[in-house]
Structures are given as structure tokens and as C-alpha cells.
Structure 1
């Protein structure tokens, strides 16, 4: 496996604190994550101890307020941390992104009391979160979800099934979107559900092409009782809560995609420099050099795109269009770059002895999660050309 630390990406970080933080992330990634990544992915092992370590190091709450245990870092910094983690192991990078997404509802829409009660444990107390929006029959059409919460005195009783839940069955808390009113987006409300709530159970994890170390499972809610104090935001505000989180979550996926692409390029560069054919390294051949040049250019463009969107977010400016663009471009780039990396390695790239094939399998899911890339194109087109004619 390539030693990524030998040629680290040159980063523009806004503060000395951020540079120190990044040094910590790189050291932790190379010491605690990289040595076990290939073996644990092959054995479908989730590295819960790594997430405990990240929590202790303050890396599970980077973009949130210090008052509640967060790192108070701008998204510009947080996303580059995600990229570094994902380049070492996507299960970890994407897991941190999902956890951050799961914390968003309470951090952005929770009451002062809810933030004070829940956020310290969520951000730095060793807890792991998950985000429950998709269902077996409502993926891209999230507003048609069927999981229902019915008011019963001071409680809500939740029944239904959620699907494709990262950390499903192992999370300590779930941000759950459920229908409390009529059809459509206005009938949805957000809830914070404990992972050990009676009536909550998980199906067997999905058997996936990649990211085998990250459990993805259906969650079944069978009369799960949640006090109204765990309703997040107003009744009927849940879809707005979900969309607000997804804009930021798409940037997380974009950063993870560039991390995977960078890891694949690093692997291809080392191999091309070492592999001899016709008496010289294959990196000397123009056809391959041009392929490497394209890979590097696409990665730099993707990184610039997600960082530009992050800086808009940090400035308090609209960034939904740019988030969709970044998610679309960066994940398509990851798929192309990882495919090209396999090609550079030739037959070796197709074997599990080298990580290129794992990067290629992992890149595919990034074109699907947090809204498929077809959905991203719809979002972008609406920003550019207005809504579709009825």
C-alpha cells in the first residue's frame, strides 16, 4: 500500500490552529487507521475504537460551537480533514461525515435546552450518530416517506422502516424524519431517537460492493416511544431540517470523494515510477503520463470546487447550488480517477493485493449517497434555469 504521508497534499489552511489540527489528523490517520484499513475492510470490520479515538481528539465535532464541545472550525477546514481521513479509509471519512450530519438537526434547529443536554455527548462524548431519511420506497423522493410518528400525550410513537442507514444498528443516536401530518414535505417532523430505544431494531447489514467495514442496514421502528422533548424543530419543519443538513452533507461527500481519488492517484504514481517495461519506468511513456496529468487536474479542480462552496457556507452565503455541483463533480471524478488507477496498475490493479480495486469499488457509492448524481443535476438545473414547467 502507498505511504500517503510521503507526499502530502499541500493545503491552504486559514490559521495556525488549523495547521496544527491537520498535523494531528495526519499523524493519527497514518498511525491508527492506515495499518489496518485493508484487512478490516476485507473482513467487514467496523473500527469503533477509531471513532472513540476521534471523539477523544475532538474530531467528531469540528464544525460546531465550542460552547457545546465542538471545535468551532470553519467548513473549509473540516472538509479537508474529511478528505484526509477518507484518503486513508473511506469507512472512517464517510462515517465522520454521517455523524456530523446526524448532529446538525440539534445544533441548528434544537432549543437551547436540547443543545445543552445532548450536544456535548454527541460531539465529544464518544457517541456515534446516524441519519434516517431514506426508506425502502422513498430514496430520491424523500418527501414521500411513510414512517409515521403519532402524538400520544407527551410522547410520540414511531412506526415504520428506514433504509440504507450508515451505522444502522450500531449508532448511539439517530436523527429520524417521520410523518406527523399530511402528505408531502410539510407533514414531516424531525426526532432524536436513542439507539437503545425499545421497539427499535436493525436488519442484517447490507452486502455491499465496497465500504464493507461500514455497516449499512434497515432500521425498524415498532412502536418506538419518544418524548416530545426529543422533537427537533417545529412540528412539520422536518423536511426543511433535512434539506438544510443535506446541503452540508453533500460537501462532506465531495470531500470524501476527493480523498479517495487522491489515494488512488498516489498509488498509481508510485506504481508507475517503480514498474519497468521495455527497459524503463512506465511513467516515462507519454500515454500514461497524460493519464496521470488528467487525474491530477481533475482532483485539483474538485478540491477547488468543494472548498469554494465551503467558503460560501462559512461566509453565511447561499451555497446549495455549489454544494450540488461539488458533490456531482467530485464523485464523478473519484469514479473516473479510481478506474484509471486500476488501468495504470494493469493486472495488479484488478487484484486485492493492491488498494486500487478497493478505491474503485468505494468510489461508486459516492455517486449514489446524499442524493444520486442525477438528483444533483436536477438541483443544479433548477438553480440555473428555474423550476421545470408543469
Structure 2
């Protein structure tokens, strides 16, 4: 297990992290429990709280905000390790810590940071990030959710969808238009109480990642105090862009963790499954599939950690993070499909984990900026567009 991660050359702290996470998540989310919770669409609360008790919720934040100030490489390794054991748990973690709390840590007032970050770190507060709308996804500058000033408050009206973990969130980061005619220059972000009057949240039924849910969120004249604005009015676009490289690296790490789990899971099955008197892993047609899956995983890991190291060095990693996100999420889908083929009917059965790996992988090329948009980003940097 985790052979690919062993070969990467881990620090002693990373080895300790890997071993402690493996024992903890393996105990709380063994395959039978993970499958049952996925079928029941049940949030992995016990495992989430275990991460908080172990101090992992503070990895990303600097020490002055109560965090641990981990390097980007260490944080990447953490996400890969959690995703290896359960990619849905990794996504639940990122939703609160990165998509929610990171915006508060970077752009919130000291009072807002003091109010929100301690709860994220100790696990008593969850967050969700509300950007996508029914008519706007990749074109974020065209969102229609409005926030208008009303005395010392703002009134928010609009509709969001595909919002991960909103159904369990305590606060929502809501991306709004405060100047409807100014494109990306009219965007402002707010922290909104998920239970505030006028907020309604409805879980959606999706193909995969069913324990963490996508949700629709409606804001019907929701009143928000002006001090819960993040950054400056009409300055939200810069805040959105600030975290993109970090987000892409984390999504890449999650995909790599899932890929390694798929390789290990399918390989274990192929060694045990006997056909014509031999384990199916001994047949070249099967062995080469598994080898190709490991090659994809190792290549994705290299791209991901290269981007993380660039970010740690405060170097431009925009292209590197886009390349890593495209490669890893697309190869994750391919790897899961090949794992299904290796396992045959067992892979297609709901009694095995492979079908869940396959379903969970498919959102990767869509979420966090579609891979088509990221190809445009790379093309522009190459001087092609």
C-alpha cells in the first residue's frame, strides 16, 4: 500500500503523517463503511472530526492565525494521503479549509479571522464556497447574484448551484456582483450565515462524491452586515484569482491519491483472482494495464509536486499548476476506467470500491476550473491565443 508514495522520498514528518492518517482513516472509513455511507449519502462526520482533533485542520494557516504554517509540499502530501484513503473526505476537508477558511484568512478583517478560523481548526465550524450559478460556471465574471448596500448592511439576492458541502456548512463564502455593469471589476465576496433568514439549501443527486453532496443555494433578500465583506467592495476578483494555483495543486494531489488507491486496489484483486489456473495479474494483457496505471500515477505525482515546490519558492506556477490539474484529473478518470476493466464484473459491482472510485473521479476534469478553460490558460501563456 502507498508504494508509489514511498518511492517519492519522504521526510520523517511526512512518514509519520502518512502512517497516522492511514491508521485513523482506515479505522473510521474501512471499505464497507465507506460504501455504506456513499450509498446513504452520509457526510463522513466522524472522520472529519478525527482530522480536526489531530490538528490537521490548521495545516494551511500561518501560526499567527492558530495554524501550523506547513509548506505547500507538506500540504500537498497531506491531501494526497487523505485522498488515497477516501477522496470524498479530502474534498470535505478542502471545502472548509481551503475554499472557505483560506479566503477568510487572506481577506477577512482581524475580527472576522478571530471569529471563524478557530472553529475551522477545531472542527466546530464548516464552510462552503458559493460561486457557480445555473447560467455561469467557467465565466465567473458573469454571475447574477447581486449584493446591494442598505445602510450598514448588504442585501444579497440570487441562486447558486453545485455547491459542495453547503448542506453541512455553518458559513458560506458567497461571490456576488456589487456593480452589475463592471464585469469582473464588480465582484465582492461575503461571509454569510448558512442559517440566515432567506438562505435555503437543497442537496442535489449526483453521480459521485455522494457523501459530501452538491447543493443548490438560494439567497432571497439575505441581509449581511458590511463587516462580513471579504476585502474591499468590487475587489473580489483579485481574491478569487489569488487562490487558483493552490486550488489546482490540491485537486491534482487528490487525483493522484485516488489514482494510487485504484492501482493498489485493482492490483490486489488481480493477484487474488485466478483464471485458467493462474492469477490474472500474471497475464500480460492485465499486467500491462496495471503498469500503465502506475506510470500515469507516478507522472501525475511528479507534475503535482513540481507545482507545489514552485509555489513554496514563490515562483510563477500558473502554468505548472494548470498542467498538473489537467493531467492528473484526466488520468484519474482513465485509471479508474482501466481498473474497472481489470476487475471485470467485480469492478462493475456495487459491492466493490472500484465503481465508487470511477464515479468519484469523473468530476475532476469539470470542477475547480474546467480542463478546457485551463488549456486556454496554458495556450495564452504559450503565446498561442
- 1:69, 1:124 within 8 Å by CA — same for their partners in 2? no
Q: Could you tell me how far 1:240 is from its partner in structure 2? A: 1.4
Q: Could you tell me how far 1:379 is from its partner in structure 2? A: 1.3
Map of 1:22 onto structure 2: 18
What's the secondary structure of 1:165's corresponding residue? coil
Map of 1:188 onto structure 2: 187
- 1:110, 1:233 within 8 Å by CA — same for their partners in 2? yes
- Structure 2: how far apart are the matches of 1:114 and 1:173? 12
Map of 2:74 onto structure 1: 77
Map of 2:262 onto structure 1: 264
1:31 and 2:27 aligned? yes
Q: Could you tell me how far 1:161 is from its partner in structure 2? A: 0.7
Question: What are the ranges of 5 or more consecutive residues in structure 2 without an aligned counterpart?
Answer: none
- Structure 2: how far apart are the matches of 1:243 and 1:146? 19
Map of 2:196 onto structure 1: 197
For structure 1, which segment, 189-198 or 16-25, has the greater mean C-alpha deviation from structure 2 after superposition? 16-25
- Structure 1: how far apart are the matches of 2:122 and 2:382? 40
- Structure 1: how far apart are the matches of 2:301 and 2:13? 21
Per-residue Cα deviation, 1:331-374 (whole angstroms, up to 9, x for no partner): 01100110000000111111112111111111101111101111
- 1:140, 1:375 within 8 Å by CA — same for their partners in 2? yes
Per-residue Cα deviation, 1:179-226 (whole angstroms, up to 9, x for no partner): 0013310000111112222211112x1111111111211111111111
Map of 2:62 onto structure 1: 65
Structure 1 residues 96-135: aligned runs within 5 Å: 96-99=93-96, 100-135=98-133
Q: Aligned to 1:149, which of 123, 147, 150? A: 147
Structure 1 residues 212-251: aligned runs within 5 Å: 212-251=210-249
Per-residue Cα deviation, 1:103-138 (whole angstroms, up to 9, x for no partner): 121112223333233222223342111111111110
Map of 1:47 onto structure 2: 44
Per-residue Cα deviation, 1:228-281 (whole angstroms, up to 9, x for no partner): 111111111111111222321121111111121111111111111111122211
Cα distance change of structure 1 residues 101 and 225 upon mapping to structure 2, 3 Å threshold:
same
Q: Could you tell me how far 1:327 is from its partner in structure 2? A: 0.9
TM-score, normalization by structure 1 = 0.93
- Structure 2: how far apart are the matches of 1:320 and 1:192? 27
- 1:159, 1:221 within 8 Å by CA — same for their partners in 2? yes
- 1:201, 1:221 within 8 Å by CA — same for their partners in 2? yes
**Cα RMSD (Å) of the superposition?**
1.7
What's the secondary structure of 1:316's corresponding residue? coil
- The size of the alignment, in residue pairs, is 382
What's the secondary structure of 1:385's corresponding residue? coil
Q: Could you tell me how far 1:11 is from its partner in structure 2? A: 5.9
What's the secondary structure of 1:166's corresponding residue? coil
- 2:80, 2:256 within 8 Å by CA — same for their partners in 1? yes
- Structure 1: how far apart are the matches of 2:290 and 2:204? 34
- 2:4, 2:260 within 8 Å by CA — same for their partners in 1? no
TM-score, normalization by structure 2 = 0.95
- 1:251, 1:323 within 8 Å by CA — same for their partners in 2? yes
Q: Aligned to 2:364, which of 363, 366, 372? A: 366
Question: What are the ranges of 5 or more consecutive residues in structure 1 without an aligned counterpart?
Answer: none
- 1:149, 1:179 within 8 Å by CA — same for their partners in 2? yes
Map of 1:350 onto structure 2: 348
Structure 1 residues 314-329: aligned runs within 5 Å: 314-329=312-327
- 2:336, 2:357 within 8 Å by CA — same for their partners in 1? yes
1:87 and 2:112 aligned? no
